[in-house]
Amino acid sequence: MKSLFARLRTRRLASAYVVLATLTVAIVAGSFAVHGVRGQEQQPSSVDATPLKIVNSPIASNEFVRIAKQVGPAVVNINTQTLPKQSENRRQFHGRALPLPQNPGDDGQGQGDGEDNFQDFFNRFFGGQIPSPDQGDGGGGVQESLGSGFIVDPRGYIITNDHVVDKADKIYVKLSTDPDSQDLGRPARVIGIDKATDLAVIKIDAGGPLPTMKMGNSDNVQVGDWVEAIGSPFALSQTVTAGIISAKNRTIEPGPSGQFQHFLQTDAAINPGNSGGPLLDMNGNVIGVNTAIYTQSAGYQGIGFAMPSNTVVAVYNDLISPTHKVVRGSIGIQFREGLSDAVNRVYGFKNGVLVQQVQPGGPADRAGLKDGDIITSVDGRPVKDGDALVDEIASRRPGSTVQLGYLRSGKQDIASVTIGDRDKVFADLGTRQPQVNPESTESAGEAKLGIVVQEESQADQGKLKTPGVVIESVRTGSFADLQGLEPGLVITHVNRQPTGNKDQFDAVVQKLKTGDDVVFEVMDPHHPEQGINYVGGTLQ
């Protein structure tokens, strides 16, 4: 029996081997039939594919091509070096962004803090300095920066951004015609800078006439117009991008630091290294200087900003003058933008500028203007808002006279103001540090406004220009909280009624009812130089 089972098993295995062998032969035969393969060798077969050829079919040049060829030679790459002050070896690509400090506005004459804010702006948008391999400075920690610029005078005058050359010890410019072997480029020197607009003029020794660019009229630009940008993003010189004008008159920095920066917005790709390069219209004329981008990735996200050419031309002409300085007019006032409709209704105006503070001894003060006046016109022309007033006054030369129409207590009047030099008017802006009495009593307005106030101590009375009551506490979610009031601020008026003491404050607040507009005149005792801030809304 065992022998029978053994034989049956053997026959089954033999049958299986036969089947496997048959399949193997079939596969090999099929492979040979299809591929012509015999053993491990592949035999040559006929090829019926047609070789590819390049078709010489020229495409008609468009406007972007024409512009790039026409103006490209006048666009330059700018390299700067900052000698080591600390042991660090890094490269940064220049760009700008927008810091978010909440500063009071002024008539374009206040001392901005753009330089202090720039590092925050740079970190926010470009991640600070970008590490690079050793630049061969022997470990000395030289910082290198990259940016762009463009030639506007055949003798070698170049427009760029101030932040491209700011604090640089050495500046080099490379033309599009310079050989790659010329690593650094031609030495350049600074002719003048204007931090208010972030513009700079530098010069190289030409050795002969250089190609130049023409300045266009940025006032004629419309949203939706095609534009072209040329620059050196990430050190890639002569990079051309295109897009449209997305918006006009963009102010991206609040307060004094942004009062002279009203940008063209574009979706043309602008990246780190593009700063200082030109933004061009379809005639090949410069309508802006690429300055900043808005990004969360340190790169292009479709929102770029360029300083309008009309501003650039005015600044350039001042910087190449014998003084190499931009001179702006001032009347010595401060104001705050973005006032609520409630403020306008309570103070009885729709268009105009509510004066927050008049600089003591300044032009407006000498002409009789006071805090709380509402400037409505300049030389008979209506003033819409603070930006319009800044443009009017800053363009005037010191020593000239302007007629300012204003409202005071609902009555119209005119003041003749002699324009001053912005830098001089605010040079001696003083600071006072009044202290408040830590003792307090409950405010009568707590139930209506959610606020508790206290009177100033006898020792501190008179330290502020206008007396008021000090905020001790603000209830979260209350009306006062929603208006941005905080402990420590001093309320000098409510709805134009003086609140120099607690009795006056209580008397005004007790009359308030639901639906009333409520406007506070507030001062920060730690920053009295900022003057009065007007905040308010409608009581619900």
Q: Which CATH class is domain 329-425?
A: mainly beta
Three-point CA angle 88, 90, 91, nearest 5°: 150
The CA distances from residue 538 to 342, 367, 522, in Å, are 7, 35, 17
Amino acid at 354: L
Catalytic residues: 163, 198, 275
Determine the pLDDT at residue 299: 72
Domain 67-93+112-204, classified CATH 2.40.10.10, yes or no: yes
Give per-residue burial for 347-360: e unless 16+ CB within 10 Å, then b: bebeebbbbbbbbe
The arrangement of secondary structure in 218-319, i.e. its CATH architecture, is: Beta Barrel (2.40)
Residue 29 phi, psi (nearest 5): -60, -40
Contact 264, 279 (CB under 8 A): yes
Tell me the residue type at 162: D
Are the folds of 218-319 and 446-538 the same? no
Q: Specify the 3-state DSSP secondary structure of 186.
A: strand
Quote the CATH superfamily of domain 446-538. Answer: PDZ domain (2.30.42.10)
Locate the domains of the chain by residue range. Answer: 67-93+112-204, 218-319, 329-425, 446-538
Q: What count of Cα atoms within 13 Å lies in the side-chain half-sphere of residue 51? A: 2
Give the pair of three-digit tokens for residue 410: 């609902």
Range 340-344, long-range pairs (CB < 8 A, 24+ positions): 340/519, 340/535, 340/536, 340/537, 342/517, 342/518, 342/519, 342/536, 342/537, 342/538, 343/519, 343/534, 343/535, 343/536
The alpha carbon of residue 242 and the mean position of all alpha carbons in its chain are separated, in whole angstroms, by: 20
DSSP 426-482: TTT---------S-----TTHHHHSEEEEEPPTTTTTSSSS--EEEEEE-TTSHHHH
Q: Are strands 239-250 and 381-382 parallel, antiparallel or unpaired?
A: unpaired
Which regions of the chain are under pLDDT 70?
Answer: 1-45, 84-143, 181-182, 254-257, 298, 427-444, 457-463
pTM: 0.64
Q: What are phi and psi of 432, to 5 degrees?
A: -125, 145
